[in-house]
Each structure stands twice: as structure tokens, then as C-alpha cells.
Amino acid sequence: MAEDARRLKESASQTAGPYVHIGLMPNFAGIGGVYDSDLGSAMVNDRTLGERITVTGVIVDGAGAPLKDALIEIWQADAAGLYNSPAETRGAADPNFTGWGRCASHAETGAFIFRTIKPGRVPFIDGRPMAPHITFWIVARGINIGLQTRMYFADEMAANDADPLLLRIESRHRIRTLIAPREGDTYRFDIHLQGDRETVFLDI
């Protein structure tokens, strides 16, 4: 028998709590035997197409301290700009690239690190090409609803200047909070939850 949806109430929001790592990354939490390796810990293999890059950074709270219990997930297109998703209709994505990764912040430094590839451009809802980017989702104790943002690449400024989402940000000086500088094959993307350098978060 179908439930009358009008009777259902929205559940109260809760923080991720101290158990999020146990549930999502048991090996990281010291619990073996659930998975050979935690889901999302490896995005590429030796056959993955595209430029190999490393993305690293910290989640910084309003007092300027790194969060040491955060969990970060990323989603992105492959090198050809295709998503590893059943909803992808433009072509077949690279079967050797997951397009999704998960990482816990380091218990002492708060750092996160992803080894991935530089994504290709994907179309906006109106067909305009977006600049290469990686979508981030952050949860931790004290965060009631997971935060979403994007990382853009400092060496793609021409594409960034025409990106449909970045063009929607009215406070233009805040765009820099979404741009990751490059050193070698590593991009540095620090995410600030509050304060003068607060990262732009997205309601998506």
C-alpha cells in the first residue's frame, strides 16, 4: 500500500558526527575486512587517459584551524569531458577512470589529497562550455548539510573568464576562492568555511 506523502515529515538535520569515517571509510578508521580498499580511494589506473594531476589542500574553519575530521568527495569529467554516469548521453566515458573520489582529512595536518586527471570541458545547461572543474562535497562534525563547491584551474584563465557559473557570481573578488594555483603537477585548493576568505559554496 502506498504511503500518503502528505503525512511524511522532513527528518531533522544532523551533523555527520564522529562515525562518518567508520561508515564510509572503514579501512581509514582501522576496521578491516569490509572492503579491500575504501571506496573512492583510487580514481585512476595505469590505463587511464589524460594528464595526471594531484589535488591537495585543507578545510579551514572560521578560526583559521584545519578540520582534522572532515570527509571530502569529488566528482569530475574524464579528459574528454565525459562523465562516468548512466546519465551521460554524449558518448562513452573512459572506463579506466572512476570520475569520483573520496578522502578523509589527515588526522594531524587536516590535509586531503586526490590523485586524478585534469578534466575536460563539459556543457552548461544551455550548451555553453564550462571551464574545466572538479566538484567538491564536504562533511564533518558541525556541518549540518554537506557543503558543495567547485575547484577551477589557475592555468585555464581564458576558459574561467567565460565560465557560465563563474559569470553568475556577483562579488567578483570571491571568484579567486574557487581557483587553484598549480605547482608542477599539483593543484592547491584550500577551502575556507567562514571568514574573509570564505569559499563560494553552491546550492546544487
Q: Could you tell me the pTM of the whole model?
A: 0.90
Indicate the number of domains in the chain: 1
pLDDT in tens, 8-54: 777 776 666 667 877 888 888 888 888 888 889 999 999 999 999 99
Residue 95 has pLDDT above 60, yes or no: yes
Cell numbers of 102, please? 573520496
Whether the Cβ atoms of residue 160 and residue 167 lie closer than 8 Å to each other? no
204 in a domain, yes or no? no
158 in a domain, yes or no? yes
The pLDDT, as a whole number, for residue 188 is: 98
144 in a domain, yes or no? yes
Which candidate, 82, 104, 109, 107, places its Cα nearest to that of 95?
82
Residue 146 has pLDDT above 70, yes or no: yes
Beta strands 52-60 and 186-188, pairing class? parallel
Average pLDDT over the chain reads 92
Q: Which residues of 120-129 are buried (b: 16+ CB within 10 A; e: fewer)?
A: ebbeeeeeee
For the residues 153-159, what does the mean pLDDT come to? Answer: 98
49 in a domain, yes or no? yes
168 in a domain, yes or no? yes
Q: What is the CATH number of the domain that holds 148?
A: 2.60.130.10
**Calpha distance 143→159 (Å, rounded):** 32
The pLDDT, as a whole number, for residue 26 is: 85
The pLDDT, as a whole number, for residue 136 is: 98
The pLDDT, as a whole number, for residue 58 is: 97
Domain, as residue range, for 158: 40-192
102 in a domain, yes or no? yes
